[in-house]
């Protein structure tokens, strides 16, 4: 017994920043960003905190599912760019939407939304009385970018995505992989001002080694999808859609090529939002659903990878 996705929602802040806008800030241009990353514009928060965006996506998902905050049994959220470490983004969202259920946050960087689904499945198994769990990925990544580093600041965007999960049979299988401590991608914390502490730390922004990240991401997608297909005796023809983490269109295209998959089966919307970390998969899933191309009963693979290093893929029946 696991769950079905009965509602989805997303929110991005109104300000859209184009590649030409970024060319005014760092030495870059539209052609370079479009070709290397696949982003045309991203939304950047001017006056909304991470949890506000998370709450707006959450409310949209509740409305879509036709339920209310008081119907929820648990809220699980993820973020690497929350405005507070404590209260967690899950707790802040609980407060903002007027829910009273338990809430907690977890960290698996860009792969986190999938880890939320896995955790929700575990809660449904543990608490037989739970019928409805809200999962939210929310990010104000613009707050943890080095805006002088043209290799990272052009990639990311702010936003939030959410889903309402109701007890059901739609979560079929999952594969989780962690390579702990690998710092190909890292976001150091502010080290503090202790007069006793002597170690130095990199700046508290996203640091990413491009080529290594690319290699890791393509390998992760390829091996996770292959594992899910083989383990469930499926072929790619049985899968209606693959919804990958929107990190870089080149990663998605090359993974599709290596897997021998029609690139049209990979849902892509990075051109509009950039990489929104934990929000990217729920935003993409929501847009796929809203496009009318996703049908009830379709088998879908979600896959994500990111800092940690953490990657995961899951097979669902919508």
Partner 1 sequence: MVKEKIIAMLAESTDTDASEITLDTQFSDLGIDSLDMTEMAMDLEDEFGIEFTPSPEINTVGKLIEAVEKLTEA
Q: Is 130 in the site for partner 1 (CB under 8 A)?
A: no
Query: Can you tell me which of 29, 35, 46, 179 binds partner 1, judged by CB under 8 A?
Result: 35
- Binder among 168, 204, 210, 263 for partner 1 (CB under 8 A): 210
- Bridge partners, 131 (sequence order): none
**CA–CA distance from 212 to each of 129, 153, 180 (Å)?**
44, 18, 15
**Does 36 engage in binding with partner 1 (CB under 8 A)?**
yes
Residue 201 φ/ψ, nearest 5 degrees: -140, 145
Q: What sections of 232-266 are H helices per DSSP?
A: 249-259
275 a catalytic residue: yes
Give CA angle at 130 (91, 4), nearest 5°. Answer: 95
What is the rounded distance in angstroms from the CA atom of residue 70 to the CA atom of residue 300? 30
Please say which residue, 35 or 68, places its beta carbon nearer to partner 1.
Answer: 35
Q: Which stretch binds partner 1 (CB under 8 A): 81-89, 156-164, 192-200, 212-220?
A: 212-220
Q: Which stretch binds partner 1 (CB under 8 A): 51-59, 74-82, 112-120, 214-222?
A: 214-222
- Residues in the interface with partner 1 (CB under 8 A) total 12
Task: State how far the Cα of 87 lies from the Cα of 163, in Å rounded to an integer.
Answer: 21
Our CB check for partner 1 shows the closer of 150 and 299 to be 150
Question: What DSSP state is assigned to residue 186?
Answer: E
Is residue 293 a contact point for partner 1 (CB under 8 A)?
A: no
Catalytic, 107? Answer no
Burial of residue 35 (number of CB atoms within 10 Å: 0-12, 13-18, 19+): exposed
Decide whether 219 or 269 has the Cβ nearer to partner 1: 219
Catalytic annotation, pick one of 19, 67, 110, 138: 110
Contact between 265 and partner 1 by CB under 8 A: the answer reads: no
Tokens of 188: 């150091």
Distance CA 62, CA 68 (A): 6
Active site residues: 110, 245, 275
Q: Which residues bind to partner 1, rule: CB under 8 A?
A: 35-36, 210-212, 214-215, 218-219, 250, 254, 258
């Amino acid at each position: 017994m696991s769950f079905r996705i009965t509602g989805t929602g997303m929110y991005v802040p109104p300000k859209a920043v184009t590649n030409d806008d970024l060319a005014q800030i760092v030495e870059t241009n539209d052609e370079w960003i479009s070709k290397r990353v696949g982003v045309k514009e991203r939304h950047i928060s001017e006056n909304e905190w991470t949890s506000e965006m998370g709450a707006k996506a959450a409310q949209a998902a509740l409305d879509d599912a036709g339920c209310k905050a008081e119907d929820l049994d648990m809220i699980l959220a993820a973020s690497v760019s929350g405005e507070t470490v404590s209260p967690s983004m899950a707790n802040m969202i609980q407060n903002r939407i007027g829910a009273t259920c338990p809430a907690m946050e977890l960290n698996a960087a860009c792969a986190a939304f999938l880890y939320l689904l896995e955790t929700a499945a575990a809660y449904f198994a543990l608490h037989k009385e739970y019928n409805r769990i809200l999962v939210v990925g929310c990010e104000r990544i613009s707050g943890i970018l080095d805006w002088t580093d043209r290799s990272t600041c052009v990639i990311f965007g702010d936003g939030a995505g959410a889903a309402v999960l109701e007890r059901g049979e739609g979560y079929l299988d999952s594969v989780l992989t962690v390579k702990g401590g690998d710092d190909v991608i890292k976001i150091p914390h502010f080290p503090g001002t202790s007069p006793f502490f002597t170690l130095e730390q990199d700046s508290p922004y996203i640091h990413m080694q491009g080529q290594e990240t690319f290699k890791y991401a393509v390998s992760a997608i390829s091996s996770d999808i292959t594992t899910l297909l083989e383990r469930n005796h499926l072929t790619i023809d049985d899968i209606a859609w693959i919804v990958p983490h929107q990190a870089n269109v080149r990663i998605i295209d090359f993974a599709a090529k290596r897997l021998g998959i029609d690139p049209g089966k990979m849902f892509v919307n990075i051109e509009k939002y950039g990489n929104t970390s934990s929000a990217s998969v729920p935003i993409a899933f929501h847009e796929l659903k809203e496009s009318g191309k996703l049908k009830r009963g379709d088998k879908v693979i979600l896959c994500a990878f990111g800092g940690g290093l953490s990657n995961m893929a899951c097979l669902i029946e919508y």
